[in-house]
Structure 1
Amino acid sequence: MTSAAQGDRRRELAATDDPRAARTRDRLVAALDALLEAGEAVSVAAVCTRAGVGRSTFYTHFATVGDVVVYVVDTMFDEIGPRDVSRRTGQVMARAAITRTGLEELLAAFRLHRRYLLYAVSAPATERVREHLVEEMSASLRRTILTERPDASDEFLDTAGEYIAGGVLSVLLGWLESPRGRSDDDIVDTVAQLLPSWLTTND
C-alpha cells in the first residue's frame, strides 16, 4: 500500500464508528502511555510490543508515534471545546465564571495527558506536534470566539484563535515542564487576566 493510500485509510478509520478500530487505537494509546510512565524508550516497535499488535496494524492507524499524541490531543479538544461553547451559548453563568471553568477543564486535561504532552515537546517531532496543538486549540477557540463575536470576520477569528492558542499553550506547556511552585489556581488566574475582555466579561 502506498503512503498516500495508507493516509486515506487512516482518515477513513478515524472517521468511522467501528468499535474494533477504536479499541485498537485505545490499545496503542495505552501502550504509549505505559512506555512513557515506565521511562522506557519510545518507538513504533516498542508501542507495538506493549500493545500486542503488529507493525502493520500500527501503521493502519498512525504514521508515527507523534501521530498517537496528535490523536490524544484531538480527542482532548473535541471534548473540551463544545462544552465551552455550550456554556457561553446558554448564558446562565457570568463570562468570568465560564472562562475560569474552561481554563480549569483545559488545565485538568493537560494534567491528565501530561506524559503525552511532555513527550510531544521533547520528541524529535516536537515542532510538528506543537504546531498541531496550536492548530487544534485555535480551531476549538474559533467556535468559542464566534459565540462572543458573531459579526467577526474570518480573518479576525483565525488571528484571534491563533494568538490566544499560542499564548495559552506556551504558558501551560511551560508549567507542565517546570511548575516552579505555581498552583493550578495561580496559572488559571494569570491566564484569565491575560485573555481579551470580550471573552471574560459580560460588558
Structure 2
Amino acid sequence: MSSTSDRAPDPRPARTRAAIFAAARDLTSVDGEVTVNALAKRAGVSRAAFYSHFSGLDDLMGAMFQQMFDAAWERGRAYAAEKQSLQEAVQFGFGMFVAYVERHHAFLRGALDWKFSHRTYLILADTMTKLHGEALTRLGDRVPVRQRTESAGRSIAGSELAFAAQWLVETEQQAAAGEALDATSLLETILIFVPSWYTGIGPEDPIAAAELLALCRTAAADEAAEG
C-alpha cells in the first residue's frame, strides 16, 4: 500500500496559478478596470483561490514579471552561447523585455493605475538590477572602472522601466482603438540610451531594433505556449 508521501503532487494549485496568469495575459483594452474580481472571473476561479496564490494585483504583476525575467535571462544565456557574445545576449534581453511589454500592453497599462506601494516598485527594480548586475559582472573589464557598482545596474533598470511606462501611456489610445502595436521604437530608444559598452552598439552604429524584436516576439510566444 502506498504511503501519503508516495502520492503524486496535487496539480490543482499549479493549474489555478496558470489560469490566473493566462487571464491577466489575455486582457484587452476593452475589458475595463483590472480588478481581482475581474481576473478571478476570467480565470474561472474564486476570489479565495486568487488570494491563496497572490496577496493582490501588485503581487500578481511582480510574479508575472519574475517569470518573464527568468525566461528572458535563460533565453539570453542560450543566445549568448550560440552567438559567443555576451553583449548580443544583453541586446536580446532588452528585446525580450520589450516583446513582453508589447504583448501584454493591456495588463501592464492597467497596472500603471493600480495603487502600488513604493516597496512593490522597489522589489521590481531590485529584480531587474540583479539581472543587469550579473551581466555587468560577466562583462568584466569592458565595464568602466567607475561604473563597476550596483548603481550601474540600478540606473539601467530604472531607465528601462521609465521608457516602458512612457510607451504604455503614449500608445493607450492606439490600443483602445484596436490598432496593432509595434514597440520597435521602445526597443530602439532603450538601446540608444543604454551605455554602448553594455550593448556593444556604438553611438553611430545602426540599430536593428525591428529585426531583434521580431526574433524576441517569436521567443516570447514560444515561452507563453510552454507556460
TM-score by length of 2: 0.66
Deviation, structure 1 residue 150? 7.4
Structure holding more helix per residue: 1
Q: Is the 8 A contact 1:120 1:129 kept in 2?
A: no
Deviation, structure 1 residue 86? 4.2
Q: Is the 8 A contact 2:27 2:106 kept in 1?
A: no
| 1:46-195 map, 5 Å | 46-88=38-80, 92-93=84-85, 95=87, 97-125=88-116, 127-149=118-140, 156-179=148-171, 184-195=183-194
Point out where structure 1 has 5 or more consecutive residues left out of the alignment: 1-16
Deviation, structure 1 residue 63? 0.7
Structure 1 Cα separation of the partners of residues 130 and 161 of structure 2:
13
Percent identity between the two aligned chains: 26
Q: Is the 8 A contact 1:36 1:115 kept in 2?
A: yes
| Partner AA of 2:46 in structure 1 | G
What is residue 35 of structure 2 aligned with on the other side?
43
Structure 2 Cα separation of the partners of residues 192 and 115 of structure 1:
24
What is the CA RMSD across the aligned residues, in angstroms?
A: 3.4
Deviation, structure 1 residue 197? 2.9
Q: Is the 8 A contact 2:128 2:157 kept in 1?
A: yes
Q: Is the 8 A contact 1:31 1:51 kept in 2?
A: yes
What is residue 15 of structure 2 aligned with on the other side?
23
Q: Is the 8 A contact 2:79 2:92 kept in 1?
A: no
Deviation, structure 1 residue 47? 2.7
Classify 1:148/1:91 alpha carbon distance in 2 versus 1 (closer, same or farther; 3 Å). Answer: farther
SS in structure 1 at match of 2:84 = coil
